[in-house]
Amino acid sequence: MARKASKKTAKKTSPKKAVKKAAKVVKKAVKKVVKKAVKKTGKKTASKVAKSPAKKPVVKKASAGGVFKERSVRADGFAIRYAEAGKGNVLVSIHGAGGMRISPAHELLAKTYRVIVFEVPGFGKSPANERSATMQDLAGTMNKAIAALGIKKFSLMGNSFGAKLVSWMAVQAPDTLQALLLVAPAAIRHDRPRVVGKTPEETRALFHAHPENIPPQPAVKPEIEAKQQALVRRLIGPARDAALEGQLKEMKVPTLALFGTVDRVTPADAAHLYREIIPNCHIGMVYDAAHAIDADRPEAVAEIVADFIERQEKFLVTGQSGVIYP
């Protein structure tokens, strides 16, 4: 009988039993705290309390427009609107044919850089632009706008139509650039009919790999849309612009041409043209992204853009998996 009693006592006082007992006590205490929180402040607070013992930092996803402040600068006779956020080395961004927008990719990049997103004269809230006769004229205006902000060295990023505009900006003022970033670029294109959406639904499906995951955006007013498209049609120029390509061949600025793997507007099959024409050009492909790469895969765009700005030709040489490819 004594031996059996001894074993029973040993089980009760073993370290394993003690740990289990302590865990039960902690669990019970947490439940009490949660229950009180529910009664006092509701389920939302209770959920936070339940997660609070570990005190893990909450990582918030970037949401468009949250930290950018609108400003204006006068340059070349235009009052040019822009949005700015962040500190550090400057990254200037030029929008596509749809007009100025702050994407989650911009917000992510603003954590590291001073990001300036311009509204090109003739787009959005600005008056119709009938003064800029050519893309070269418009590029000169935008370079003057940057100079008016006192910026002497910066990286320059352009999306789609904006990629052609920043290409002209780059050949006009190459010494000001740290890097040139062409996102879903329409600067050098195959000479074939451009794919367009006939309805808002078709356009969403054309611009996004997974349109069902993209929150609905406010419709652009018809008069603004007409004004913007008129300017784009007048200035975009041919698919293969001999004047631009001739100057790009002489440009030494480190350049990244970034394509979405499922982009049907500026398909990735034109990537080799950039590599052949621009001497210091590198190619990046973002998996499962359509034309609006920065909306489909903002984390991927922010990562590859920042990596290229910092390391240029070494930007793809990493020691760990990234978010460019899942």
E strand or H helix that includes residue 141: helix 135-148
Inform me whether the pLDDT recorded for 138 exceeds 60: yes
Based on the domain organization, do 76 and 44 belong to the same domain?
no
Alpha helices for 13-42 (secondary structure H): 15-41
Residues 256 and 153 occupy one common structural domain: yes
User: Domain containing 201 — which CATH number?
Assistant: 3.40.50.1820
Q: Are residues 168 and 43 in the same domain?
A: no
pTM: 0.78
Distance CA 226, CA 204 (A): 19
Report whether pLDDT(86) > 90: yes
Summarised one tens digit per residue, pLDDT across range 273-293 is 999 999 999 999 999 999 999
CA 111, chain centre distance (Å): 12
Shared-domain flag, residues 45 and 184: no
Mean pLDDT of the chain: 82
What is the rounded (10 degree) CA torsion for 287, 293, 294, 295? Answer: -100
Structure confidence at residue 215 as a pLDDT band (50, 70, 90): confident
Specify the number of domains making up the chain: 2
Residue 320: band (very low, low, confident or very high) from pLDDT cuts 50, 70, 90: low
State residue 27's pLDDT score: 44
In a domain, 59, yes or no: no
Q: Which residue has the higher pLDDT, 61 or 306?
A: 306
Task: Establish if 319 belongs to a structural domain.
Answer: no
Compute the distance between CA of residue 160 and CA of residue 265 in angstroms, rounded to an integer: 9
